[in-house]
Structure 1
Amino acid sequence: MAQVGREGVDEFLLYFILMERVPLGAGAVQPGSLCCMSEDSYLQTVTLDQTPAQSLSITAIEENVLIDVDVNVLHPLNQRQAALLLAIHNPTERLSCFLERGLLEQAIQAEVGQRVLVEHEQKLYPALIHHVGSTLDTSTLLPPVYFGVELEGEGEGRGNMDGTYKGSTFFKCKKNSGLLLPFNKVIFSGAPPAEGAGAPYTQTGSIQAGDKVAFFVEDSLKRGIVVFSSNQAATGFVEVLPEDPPSSELLKIPLDSIMKEEIGTPGTVSHQTLVHDGKSAAKEERVTGNTKERLLEVNSLVQIQYNEGDLAFGIIRWMDDHMAGVELEEDKGCSDGIWCGHRYFQCPPRRGLFVKLTACQPDTRFLSNRDSPPKSLESPQNRIISVSATYDSLRVSGKVPPLQGAAALDILEGDMRGIQGHCNSCYMDAALFSLFSCSSVLDSLLFKPSSLPDGKIQQTLREEIVNPLRKNGYVSADSVMNLRCQLMEESQCPSFTTSEKDPEEFLNLIMHRILGADPLLKLQSEGQRVQESYCYQIFIEKQQEMTVPNVQQLLEQSFHHSGLKLAEVPSCFILQMPRFGKDYKMFSKIVPSLDLDITDLLSDSPRECVVCGSLATHECDECFKDVILSDHGLKQYCLMCSRQVHSHHKRKNHKPVPLKIPEGFVKTSNKIPRETLELFAVLSIETSHYVSFVKYGTEKGSWMFFDSMADRFGSEDGYNIPRVSLCPEVATYLAAPLSDLVNQNPREMKGVAKRLFCDAYMYMYQSKRMALYK
């Protein structure tokens, strides 16, 4: 592998994190490793053997070598994210921190002068941020960003520096009180920057989250378990879940008023007895036969109420007769699934919490109407009914056809329609709504034998999501969470229920690895075997003359530069645009092509001469960009026209190649038939949030817009309100002249049209004719 120097490092680099292992010689580059390449190199990456699963020649930053990496295992980063992640030396830990996302976003926003907690010597100490930046480390292509902090309180004197590192002073603090740490060793409280370094901070280093403690309430000795201590220690209090009597409400107790007890593993209780003023307190007897406990099981959605009416929501990942290990939706926990030195489940840092089972209540946001009575809620329309009251999103068996025309409007339009969003699920909500609400092109996924013996995921997809969506117009978040939990188990990816993903990652996982569906696309380059895939990523060179391209132009450009042809007509063609999420877009606007003509992209199909319209016999790659013939498109000619076109002195050196005429095709005077696909849905992304546009009828204005989190009722204990609305304004802009779209200010576009033309991420096309055979 070629060594890469530092000279090319500049602001135009694109950064990525590896999501899977990549072989390198006798070893491998591990998941979580960081890579980069210049924007120019990315735009100019064109080879004759590229396929939708093509690779990029990219630099592994830490190894400082060039490696070829499948684009599907790369996730884009901005420079700030990459520099912060690079400070974490363990790739596995780095990937976990990236997938968890919340802490990384907090680190990006952190400032000098902010008061935080830091993890040092297996304890938490209060600290003050003095420095955020690199340490002049030149050993990698990108200098890592560290946090320079000064330990305070009990941490004073437990550091290893005074702000000077390797002869360079980055900040000044008391002797042996400074540390340089990666962001995952810092807990950002979210408080505003402190005015001075001497603010009071009470810290008891011996009290940790998960400890069993005793305390007094009005002279009565109580026992409990410490939770959320890392978030509350700065106030001089910790939150404790009482054991006697069993309670689901947390108490806020001063640190100097509690006594620590020794405990064993979950499910055991210490026999230690504490004495106060001659009074003894025996250990609490275990409560059995509790009705609520019998309702809860592993993967149950629960809520935990603690002081001042706040709620924490999560999923039970482990339980015994008395205790539950819960993975929380937010960073309100105290572990990653480890308690008292034992691992009981795996989750992102600060998302794990161990509590008594009696503290867990079923999540009221997702109770079905058989669990709770209907509950009317106030709304602008004075009558939005809660998820659990109006719609029955239980299993719907059989086969329910997709919605079209007036039926689609009657069933889907309105608030609390579509798929309810919850906990970073918008990528999945938008993809499922796009594929199944008004189209049957992939219905075979719902009925073909699954690659999993029990077909559990396929049944969930069919009977809890697609069928209820088509029958009732609504799917509750708990049904989607059920699918996410099953995907998490099958993919061995612990973040599937909590973190945002890319739609193509979800689609590839469920179609390929789980359902074992036949690939949607079969592509071939000259002299190469047929390649198969489920989505196609467009890669092209940036061209100045293409200011506002349409999808047809982008697809032809990409196929031409990659030397690709379709081996057969796809029933479903999913196209990813040339962009990296919300951070990088090659084009400010893209015009949707309502009909995608793939005739000239097929490897074995009769084609029309671009000059006279008769049967073409030769194709010329060099003529592709010749605007004299036409402003875009592949160029193929009959023999006579090819000779005439290439008689021009500018084209004499072109090398037309013969086309393969399909066996059995009879040359006639009739017009060559065209093979077209119709657009049925578009996914768009803006600020990490996915929405979708769906064509529900044959009329030009038959477009609907879906947002799984369009509104919200309540705060933390509330729920998202999904909405499906009509967007006929889309047809107006689709019919407008290109010059109008070029000059159109996106902010002045009516309705949601801007999100279709400016934020498109993925286009979905179908061939109803081919869908009959697949």
Structure 2
Amino acid sequence: MMSQVETLEGKIKKLTDELATERGAVKAAVRKTHVYEEVPGRHVTIGSMVECGGNPTHYGVIKWIGCLPGSTATVAGVELEVPIIDSVNNDGVFGGIRYYHCRPRYGCFLNVFVLRPDMRFSEPQGEKATKQPVNPLGPFDWDGTAEGENFIMAPVKVMDGVHTGLKKGIQGHHNSSYLDSTLYGLFAFSDAFDHLFMELIPNETGRLIKRALLMIVNKLRWKHVVPFDAVIVLRKELDKFQQEKGLESEEKDPEEFLNLLFKHILYVEPFMKIRRPSGTDGEFFIQLFVDPDENLIPSSQHLLWKMFKEQTITFKKQPLRLLLQLPRYGKQFKSFRGVIPSLELNIEPVCDGYVEAGSRDVGNDVGRLQLLSVICIETSHYVCFTKPGGSGADEWVFFDSMAERPDDIHNLPEVTNCTAELNEWVYGKKDLARCTLKDLPALVRRFVKDGYLYVYVNQEGIMYGDDGDMY
């Protein structure tokens, strides 16, 4: 019996020694691996956007450069924008050793000589080639973001220092401000539109778009900053839809993006039902059409009531979400000196079946929506004001996805606390009608003068699922 135990112990010791030897060999191989910060003799570095060849062409970001064990060839570990469906389950591991992190099927190791800088963002032909600057925010890192099909992180309800400052928000790139500002205004601090991600998508492209959106929103809520390459993936997939071309590279308006997303990708039911003399229609937006007066600074409440009364319009049912679209307030599109976004929008008097005060439950606030975000435009650049903690909060932040430009390629996003200015000048005791707009603080002037899209929600109704039957 003792000899059998000794034999067994001997076998265990032998296996342990062999395992230690094997681990030592792996570590030695790793130590011998040459790792570079950039591809020798070529203008690509870790973090560079590259074309990887293939038909169709694949694009990605370099996550690792070096020589793999047993080879002298220089290769790059690349995280692709879209997965290679029929590839092995590559997530940055080679020969049992992890060299970088990415999602399964999004990774590949390629000889550096098949890579070249992403021509979508290259300089015009004829100009002297220069070394591509590295993104100050780094590549989009998917690690730590849940992979669940419908998983979405809850937004933060209290603002602190981690939410504001330079390099916060969504990084803008190549005409993306309409998209950056819209996503920030809808999702950064509120879950009022999270129901969009619960919709079942019938096609593969739609599912890829939904997944890209989820990754951006989750990363924004988790790390409070999203590098631009994540938005590139979203724009690339959006551009595949025939209904709206140019979303990959051209400047668009928020309603163009949202209409495509709501109607043709996520198949969302309209947020409101509008009854007009000509019939009843489901709508996502209300476009304000009122007679202009450049001497006035009206409120959004006044403009909504005025238009509904003049055009004999009513809501069939009190909506829980309302996107109020204003005329563009630039030099060529000025209808008013400015507009004050009402903190609370009372829509009950313009709803079907409205009962005058005195014969109804005055404690019922279902017909009141709270302001969540204000998306503004000056010339062709969109920015966003939104309320940390959701629509009922008193704090305000200002978001610009292209606040600074440290090199010829990259922008830096910034989130600024503007609570004091807005509460004093717009919602305090100041009388804006007696003020000259050019004398107002810069952010106050943009808030009042450049409003393009107001986002209102009934957070309490959404919380209790009081959507009711729209039809």
Q: Fold conserved (TM > 0.5)? A: yes
Larger RCO (CA within 8 A; separation ≥ 6): 2
Shift of 1:247: 8.0
Tell me the residue number matched to 2:439.
748
Q: 2:305 aligns with which of 527, 538, 556?
A: 556
Matching of residues 200-239 of structure 1 within 5 Å: none
Q: 2:318 touches 2:348 (CA, 8 Å); kept in 1?
A: no
Q: Which runs of 5+ in 1 are unaligned?
A: 1-245, 250-290, 304-314, 335-359, 367-384, 609-613, 616-666
Deviation at 1:559, TM superposition (A): 1.2
**Deviation at residue 524 of structure 1 after TM alignment:** 0.3
Q: Which residue of 1 aligns with 2:27?
A: none
Q: Structure 1 residues 388 and 401, CA, compared in 2 at 3 Å: closer, same or farther?
A: closer
Residue 759 of structure 1: which of 436, 446, 450 is its match? 450
Q: For 1:719, which of 404, 407, 410 is the aligned residue? A: 410
1:328 aligns with 2:120: yes
Residue 334 of structure 2 corresponds to residue 585 of structure 1: yes
Q: Please, which runs of 5 or more residues in structure 2 have no aligned partner?
A: 1-39, 44-49, 63-80, 83-112
Q: Deviations over 1:255-281 (max 9, x none)?
A: xxxxxxxxxxxxxxxxxxxxxxxxxxx
Could you tell me which residue of structure 2 aligns to residue 504 of structure 1? 255
- TM-superposed CA distance for 1:474, in Å, is 1.1
Q: 1:478 to 1:292 in 2, by over 3 A?
A: closer
Q: 2:376 aligns with which of 684, 691, 710?
A: 684
Letter matched to residue 535 of structure 1: F
Please state how far the C-alpha of 1:560 moved relative to its aligned partner.
1.5
1:705 matched to 2:455? The reply is no
Tell me how far 1:724 sits from its aligned partner.
Answer: 0.8
Shift of residue 746 of structure 1? Answer: 2.4
CA pair 567-492 structure 1, distance change in 2 beyond 3 A: closer
SS of 1:485's equivalent?
Answer: helix
Question: What amino acid is the match of 1:532?
Answer: G
Mapped partners of 2:370, 2:160: distance in 1: 21
For 1:186-238, what per-residue CA distance to the aligned partner results, in whole angstroms no more than 9, with x for missing partners? xxxxxxxxxxxxxxxxxxxxxxxxxxxxxxxxxxxxxxxxxxxxxxxxxxxxx
CA deviation profile, 1:7-61 (whole Å, cap 9, x unmatched): xxxxxxxxxxxxxxxxxxxxxxxxxxxxxxxxxxxxxxxxxxxxxxxxxxxxxxx
C-alpha distance after superposition, 1:352-373 (max 9, x if no partner): xxxxxxxx9997646xxxxxxx
**Deviation, structure 1 residue 604:** 2.6
CA distance in 1, matches of 2:422, 2:59: 42
From 418, 442, 445, the equivalent of 2:169 is 418
**Distance in 2 separating the partners of 1:457 and 1:606:** 46
User: Which residue is equivalent to 1:491?
Assistant: 242
Could you tell me whether the CA contact under 8 Å between 2:272 and 2:283 is conserved in 1?
yes
| Structure 1 residue 403 corresponds to structure 2 residue 158 | no
Matched pairs, number: 366
Q: CA RMSD in A?
A: 3.7
- Per the alignment, residue 440 of structure 1 pairs with 191
Answer 1 or 2: which has greater strand percent. Answer: 1
Other structure's SS at 1:459 match: helix
SS in 2 for 1:508: helix
Q: Judging changes above 3 Å, is the alpha-carbon distance between structure 1 residues 293 and 600 closer, same or farther for their aligned structure 2 residues?
A: closer
Alignment partner of 1:529 is 2:285: no
Aligned to 1:457: 208
Distance apart, 1:597 and its partner CA: 0.3
Decide which structure has greater helix share.
2
Shift in alpha-carbon separation, 1:329–1:743, aligned structure 2, 3 A: farther
Asked whether the equivalents of residues 707 and 722 of structure 1 are also in contact (C-alpha less than 8 Å), the reply is: yes
Structure 1 residue aligned with 2:36: none
- SS of the counterpart of 1:575? strand
For the structure 1 residues 421 and 673, does the alpha-carbon distance in structure 2 shift closer, same or farther, using more than 3 Å as the test? Answer: same
CA–CA distance in structure 2, aligned partners of residues 413 and 603 of structure 1: 42
Q: Deviations over 1:656-699 (max 9, x none)?
A: xxxxxxxxxxx7xx647452000000001112110000111378
Q: Does 1:470 align with 2:221?
A: yes
User: TM-score if structure 1 supplies the norm length?
Assistant: 0.43
Matched residues in 1 for 2:201 and 2:160: separation? 32
Distance 2:125 2:395 in 1: 47
Whichever residue aligns with residue 570 of structure 1, its letter is P
Cα distance change on mapping 1:744 and 1:451 into 2, 3 Å: farther
Q: 1:576 aligns with which of 325, 328, 337?
A: 325
Contact 1:402 1:437 in 2 (8 A): no
Amino acid at match of 1:459: K
User: Is residue 51–residue 57 contact of structure 2 (8 Å, CA) maintained in 1?
Assistant: no
Note the C-alpha offset of 1:532: 1.2
Rg larger in structure = 1
Contact 1:397 1:463 in 2 (8 A): no
Query: Taking every aligned residue pair, what percent have the same amino acid on both sides?
Result: 27
Residue matched to 2:346: 597
| CA positional deviation for 1:444 | 1.0
Q: Structure 1's 457 and 533: CA in aligned 2 closer, same or farther, altered over 3 A?
A: farther
The 1:714–1:292 alpha-carbon spacing in structure 2 relative to 1, beyond 3 Å, is: closer
Q: 1:508 to 1:327 in 2, by over 3 A?
A: farther
Contact 2:369-2:457 within 8 A present in 1 as well: yes
Q: Give, in angstroms, the shift of residue 700 of structure 1.
A: 6.5
**C-alpha deviation, 1:581, in angstroms:** 6.2
Q: Secondary structure at the match of 1:678?
A: strand
8 Å contact kept, 1:682–1:762:
yes
Work out whether 1:298 is the aligned partner of 2:57. Answer: yes
Q: Which amino acid aligns with 2:407?
A: G
Could you tell me which amino acid in structure 2 is paired with residue 328 of structure 1?
Answer: R
Q: Is the 8 A contact 2:177 2:381 kept in 1?
A: yes
Q: TM-score, normalised by structure 2?
A: 0.68
Q: Is the 8 A contact 1:681 1:693 kept in 2?
A: yes
Indicate whether 1:547 and 2:296 are aligned: yes
Q: Is the 2:178–2:252 contact (alpha carbons within 8 Å) kept by the matching residues of 1?
A: yes
8 Å CA contact retained: 1:401, 1:440: no
User: In 1, are the aligned partners of 2:209 and 2:238 still within 8 Å (CA)?
Assistant: no
Amino acid at match of 1:567: K
Query: How much does 1:461 deviate?
Result: 3.8
Quick one: which amino acid aligns to residue 233 of structure 2?
N
Q: Partner amino acid for 2:155?
A: L
